[in-house]
Amino acid sequence: MDAHRKTGQETLIQITPLPQIVPSRVCLSCDVCCRFPEPDSFLRPYFTAEEIRRAVVAGIDAAHFPDPNGCQVKVVPQAGGEGYRCPAFDPATSYCRIYEVRPLDCQIYPLAVMWNPDQTQVMLGWDSKCPFLRTATEQEARDRGVAVVISGVPQQPNDTLSRYPDTPLPLGVQAYADKIAELVERDDSIETFAQHPSLIGRFQDDVVILRPLPRLTARLRARPETQRDVRTGGKEPRVWSQSSVLSPQSLTLADRPRFEAALASIDTPLASYAFAFHDIWRELLTYSWAEIEGHVCLFAQYADGLFMPLPPLGSKPLSPEGSGEGEGMRAFSKALEQAFAFMRTRNKGSAVTRLENVPEELKPICETLGYRVTPKDSDYLYRTRDLARLTGVRYRSQRAACNRFVREHRYDYGPYRDADRDACLALFEEWADQKARRGMDSVERQMLADSESAHRGALTRHEALGLVGRVVRVGERIRAYTFGYRRNPAVFCVLLEVTDRHLHGLAEFIFRESCREAVAQGYEFVNTMDDSGLPSLASSKQAYHPVRLVPSYIVSER
């Protein structure tokens, strides 16, 4: 960097010139950069206010920048193909239309500034999605007569984030990284990062860590009393939240008692208020948690970013009218503010930042605190005794299906045992194949593929999660299984259910039997969760005549 200037409160970083280590021929033949799988991908480049101004002057529509004070660019659909692209990218030529004034986020790529996994250090890394790293490493390895490997700086003692720990990076890459690290840790650069924390990405395990950035880390950890907030245009100072350096810990089975105690503080029949509901998805989502202002805050990480699958869980009562009064309300408000600030930093301002599964009781409180509240799919709640009896005209078809199954098959309904795991996994594969043959759209296919790991988790960890499992054997083979759990003394939740679709009435039968058990154990209601927006599933759930659709909401910042 050999030039910079002030623009109002903001220091604009200019790299003029900064030689690019990746040759143009590699960039022009690459199909990675400037393209994204999702419209809200956390990988979209971040523009500061001045970078937005320059991009607009260069011809990019201002509508692509939702926040003129600094934000990630709004991408556009790829013409005639899947995914999205940066509006500055010309797919016909593979050139950037604003290359000379592209933002810092793009200028330093394929290097990336990001947090380490526990949010304690800012690191400089090389994005391995860029093919040049392997190309350069292969060439140097051939020149030196060694194996092809890629290595980075260990993130912890005796540990490495790289899959290739034996050979250092090519000298040219190391020298380039040294130059970028020096640039990033200049005083003016550090202030720009401090004013725009979304320039610092969340940890990515496919980025080879090159070196820590201690001066930038120290600046962010300093937490001055007031800091210009680029999201409000610097009009008002705000207290610098500790959320930028939160260090959530991984969620483990050992945390179940603490979480269940916290979950009990919110009296809702929503199925998501259970440890098992989240734990079974651990192969698709990385869960972590932190205590903020006396509230347990759960975070979930997936490919596109970080979100909260539950609101902050505390022990002090909140004002039901959302008046904002009382110690409980103040603590909840602060916890929510810090959690959102933490997610913003990790997600680089992405729309992924959100809070899910907010019950109806908290809706007016979140609205009073100034958040946007939008509906989510509702849970289906039934009177358990109605489903155990299936009496009357409205349950005629379900009753007939159960009777037909009982009449035509020799069966056994009983508890799930660990020895049943492999048979149930085989049944899941059959069931998934049956559903696929029936015909599904792309959304259903993806949901079905994702659910396999959840079923495996329930089948494997059922006892540790407190799940109630039941199977139906027809002859000697398991042809159905179901798992559920206690939400509270009045509500039992059905978490999973799989049946051989070729056996008419089996689905109705196992559901009725599980409801009969729930009645015997004193549960007044059964919750079968939401319909995931699938019309066929909604129709099946409606056919059992729910007594109530339990509202659920998504909360985001305005």
DSSP string covering 456-523: HHHHHHHHHHT-EEEEEEETTEEEEEEEEEEEETTEEEEEEEEE-TTSTTHHHHHHHHHHHHHHHTT-
Q: Mean of the pLDDT values across residues 166-170?
A: 51
Tokens of 462: 């059922």
Q: 106 with 51: CB under 8 angstroms?
A: no
Residues 366 and 217 in one domain: no
**Does residue 144 belong to any structural domain of this protein?**
yes
CA torsion sign, 373 to 375 to 377 to 379?
A: positive
Q: pLDDT tens digits, residue range 284-295?
A: 899 999 999 889
Q: How many folded domains does the chain comprise?
A: 4
Helix (H) or strand (E) holding 126: strand 122-127
Residue type (1 letter), 558: R
Alpha-helix residue ranges (DSSP H) falling in 19-170: 24-28, 49-57, 104-107, 132-144
The DSSP element (H or E) to which 182 belongs, if any, is helix 171-184
The predicted pLDDT at position 363 comes to 93
Q: Are residues 542 and 410 in the same domain?
A: yes
The answer on 86 and 14 residing in a single domain is: no
User: In angstroms, how far is the first alpha carbon of the chain from the final one?
Assistant: 36
Quote the pLDDT of residue 493. 98
Examine residue 319 and state whether it is found in any structural domain, yes or no.
yes
Q: Is residue 452 situated within a structural domain?
A: yes
Q: What is the DSSP string of 512-540?
A: HHHHHHHHHTT-SEEE----TT-HHHHHH
Predicted pLDDT at 192 = 87
Give the pLDDT confidence score for residue 138 in this predicted structure.
55
In a shared domain, residues 119 and 89: no
Q: Are 380 and 528 in contact (CB under 8 A)?
A: yes
Percent residues over pLDDT 90 in the chain: 47
Task: Give the domain CATH number at 316.
Answer: 3.40.630
8 Å CB contact between 342 and 197: no
* 220 and 262 together in one domain: no
Residues 318, 319, 325, 330, Cα dihedral to 10°: 20
pLDDT digits (tens, 9 = 90+) for 204-250: 777 888 889 998 988 877 644 333 333 333 333 333 334 445 778 88
DSSP, res 276 = H
Supply angle C-alpha 103, 108, 109, rounded to 5. Answer: 100
Binning pLDDT at 50, 70 and 90, where does residue 136 land? low
Answer yes or no: is 454 within a domain.
yes
Range of lowest pLDDT (91-105, 392-406, 450-464): 91-105
Q: How far apart (Å, rounded) are the C-alpha atoms in residues 304 and 555?
A: 18
Same domain, 249 and 235: no
Last residue of a domain, one of 239, 254, 278: 239
| Of 349, 370, 391, the domain-final residue | 370
Q: What span, in angstroms and rounded, lies between the C-alpha atoms of 481 and 56? A: 58
Residue 159 in domain: yes
Contact 91, 83 (CB under 8 A): no
Do 398 and 432 share a structural domain?
A: yes
Q: Which residues of 37-75 are buried (b: 16+ CB within 10 A; e: fewer)?
A: ebebbbbbbbbbbbbbbbbbeeebeeebbeeebbbbbbb
Residue 207 sits in which domain range? 1-20+109-239
In this structure, the answer to whether residues 386 and 488 fall within a common structural domain is: yes
- Asked if the structure places residue 26 within a domain, the reply is no
- Distance between CA 68 and CA 405 in Å, rounded? 63
* pLDDT level of residue 324 (50, 70, 90 thresholds): very low
What CATH number does residue 537 fall under? 3.40.630.30
Instruction: Look at residue 75 and tell me whether its pLDDT is greater than 80.
Output: yes
Query: Based on the number of CB atoms within 10 Å of its own CB, is 187 exposed (0-12), middle (13-18) or buried (19 or more)?
Result: exposed
Indicate whether 27 belongs to any domain.
no
Q: What are phi and psi of 100, to 5 degrees?
A: -70, -20
Residue 188: pLDDT band (50, 70, 90) is confident
Lowest mean pLDDT among 97-101, 312-316, 353-357: 312-316
- Helix axis angle, 421-438 relative to 442-465, nearest 10°? 160
Query: From CA 88, how far away is CA 44, in angstroms rounded?
Result: 12
| One domain for residues 481 and 539 | yes
347-379, pLDDT tens digit by residue? Answer: 876 778 999 999 999 999 999 999 999 999 999
Domain boundary, last residue among 239, 272, 294: 239
Q: Report the distance separating Cα 91 and Cα 346, nearest Å.
A: 29
pLDDT tens string 488-517 = 999 999 999 999 999 999 999 999 999 999
260 and 338 in a single domain? The answer is yes
State whether 522 and 391 are in the same domain.
yes
- Based on the domain organization, do 116 and 57 belong to the same domain? no
